[in-house]
Amino acid sequence: MTRPFPSLQGPLMDRRRFFADTGIGLGAIALTQMLGRQGLLAASVSGKEPLRPLIAPGQPYAPRPAHFTPRAENVLVIFCSGACSQLDTFDYKPELIRRHGQPMPGNEKLITFQGEQGALTRSPWEFRPRGQSGKMISDLVPHLGALADEMCFIHSMKGKTNTHGPGENYMSTGYTLDGFPSVGSWATYALGSEDQSLPAYVAIPDPRGKPQNSVNNWAPGFLPAAFQGTEFNATHPIRNLARPVSITDDRDQATRTFLQRLNGRHAEGFPGDNQLAARIASYELAARMQLTVPEVADLSTEPAHILKLYGADEGGSKINELRAGYARNCILARRLLEKGVRFVQLFNGAYQTGGEGASNWDGHKDLFNQYSLHGPVLDQPTAGLLLDLQQRGLLDRTLVVWCTEFGRMPTFQKGSQGRDHNPEGFTCWLAGAGVKKGFSYGATDDFGYKSVENVVTVHDLHATILHLLGLDHERLTYYHNGIERRLTDVEGKVVTGILG
């Protein structure tokens, strides 16, 4: 009987062959090490080897150099929680207007997140040309429309999920799962902050509450805890920050000085203990924040014309009260950027159980009435913030990013008066440092359903934000569980077409 594998009848490797092959392998390892030290490996030649920031253990917020000359020094992210509809704000679709009431061609029986879709439905708000660029923007946001010439629109965003929590995660961290660092955490891990008396990274939730995925939007994930966003807003400053009235300023200062001396002496006994040094640094920052946060959050010093610009001086109706609350957060964001805070994340809209769409942009059931509330709350304060940054010269050094977790369908849900979730195509816009003005990039199809031209992923958006901060997204890494982790995972490319 013939054996099927005659070449395997003898020993696979004898003693002499084993030692010969081992010698060759050890030589290859030695050669690799020598080439690596001399920067001659392919990864080194490409310049894509990891370039982690050097962080002094006791000074995690100290300013650090970028990889290359940055275009932006600070970042402001304005996040509309609940998935703001691109088709009722910034993405003008004449074909959607012409085919209003008809089935979407090729998708007549389309089933999406909450069920079967009905007919194509035009926006209840008219679109008009704005500014010198003539950009078509909805009457839902006329104040923002007036600033169209300052904005750089990306109309071809594409997501990975149609669920709010994972969608917020994806936009804020680059991953749909919990446990990954936010964009702000990566930025402050890389660059620190120019102001050592305030947090490097501040998250400002809506006065009505937190977004659906709450602190995951500004969490540090596996990065050191020092790079988590500090959460407070103009209505609710940081908890437990104020000193008790029974303790005088002098006594409070003397106590801090004494504690600093004790901590310094304790640290001397444990040289090289990075965790201890970081803990002491966080306590010292908290002490400094006792003096600085009340001052920066006190809006009583703002002149009347600034309060009016933002719409923070109005009250009476529900819309005016909600607008004034969000407007105060917008003023707080400007004051933080003015102080040199590296990364500010400002939320418009909050998640409330049982209140679908009432406090955010989740317009499933009654889009017209829901957006008639949310539009005015967002519009004037956000436009006022951009104008204020511009007139103070802060827009030249600040990158502003307006975003949401995904978009909305061009159809109304069957049996409903609202739009379902749509991650296939949506809009973000940027303004300020490093981006083109009065410019539109990419496009969705004729109905605003899918991104079809110059498609931009969230990883691409993140790569572009880091690039404008002077950071190479492929080199900014953190070693975790045996992997060089990145904000952009193994994806992402800088969207060079929007760079000014």
Tokens 């400053």 -> residue? 237
Is residue 1, in this structure, part of any structural domain at all?
A: no
8-state DSSP, 435: B
Is residue 437, in this structure, part of any structural domain at all?
A: no
Is residue 303, in this structure, part of any structural domain at all?
A: yes
What tokens were used for 371?
A: 């957006």
* pLDDT score at 318: 87
Pairing of strands 127-130, 411-413: unpaired
Cβ proximity of 469 and 187 under 8 Å:
yes
8-state DSSP, 484: E
Is residue 471, in this structure, part of any structural domain at all?
A: yes
Cβ proximity of 47 and 327 under 8 Å:
no
Write out the residue range of the structural domain in which residue 280 sits.
Answer: 74-149+163-424+464-498
Pairing of strands 407-408, 398-404: unpaired
* pLDDT score at 53: 93
Q: Where are the beta strands (DSSP E) in 319-461?
A: 343-348, 398-404, 407-408, 411-413, 421-422, 426-432, 439-441, 443-444, 451-453, 456-457
* pLDDT score at 26: 58
* pLDDT score at 218: 97
* pLDDT score at 344: 98
Render the burial of 342-371: b for 16+ CB within 10 Å, e for the rest: bbbbbbbbbbeeeebbebbbbbbeebeebb
Collapsed DSSP state (helix, strand, coil) of residue 307:
helix
Is residue 17, in this structure, part of any structural domain at all?
A: no
- Rounded to whole angstroms, the Cα distance separating 184 from 202 reads 9
Cβ proximity of 190 and 476 under 8 Å:
yes
* pLDDT score at 299: 92
- Rounded to whole angstroms, the Cα distance separating 494 from 405 reads 20
Using alpha carbons, select from 144, 52, 57, 66 the residue that is nearest to residue 342.
66
- Rounded to whole angstroms, the Cα distance separating 124 from 138 reads 9
Domain count, the chain: 1
- Considering the entire predicted model, what is its pTM? 0.86
What tokens were used for 195?
A: 């102001």
- Rounded to whole angstroms, the Cα distance separating 164 from 169 reads 9
- Rounded to whole angstroms, the Cα distance separating 82 from 86 reads 12
In degrees and rounded to multiples of 5, residue 203 shows phi and psi of -105, 130
Collapsed DSSP state (helix, strand, coil) of residue 92:
coil
Is residue 201, in this structure, part of any structural domain at all?
A: yes
In degrees and rounded to multiples of 5, residue 222 shows phi and psi of -90, 0
- Rounded to whole angstroms, the Cα distance separating 448 from 362 reads 18
Cβ proximity of 335 and 296 under 8 Å:
yes
Is residue 356, in this structure, part of any structural domain at all?
A: yes
- Rounded to whole angstroms, the Cα distance separating 104 from 445 reads 12
Sign of CA dihedral 369, 374, 379, 381: positive
Cβ proximity of 336 and 301 under 8 Å:
no
Q: List % helix, strand, coil for the chain (3-state, nearest 5).
A: 40, 15, 45
Residue 56, CA atoms < 13 Å, CB-side half-sphere = 9
- Rounded to whole angstroms, the Cα distance separating 85 from 367 reads 9
- Rounded to whole angstroms, the Cα distance separating 74 from 71 reads 10
In degrees and rounded to multiples of 5, residue 389 shows phi and psi of -60, -40
- Rounded to whole angstroms, the Cα distance separating 74 from 343 reads 6
Cβ proximity of 194 and 338 under 8 Å:
no
Is residue 36, in this structure, part of any structural domain at all?
A: no
- 10-residue mean pLDDT profile of the chain (500 residues): values are 46 61 58 46 53 86 95 98 98 98 88 88 98 97 98 98 96 97 98 90 95 95 93 80 74 74 76 69 69 84 96 87 96 96 97 69 93 97 98 98 98 94 98 98 98 98 98 97 95 97
Can you give the length of the chain in residues?
500
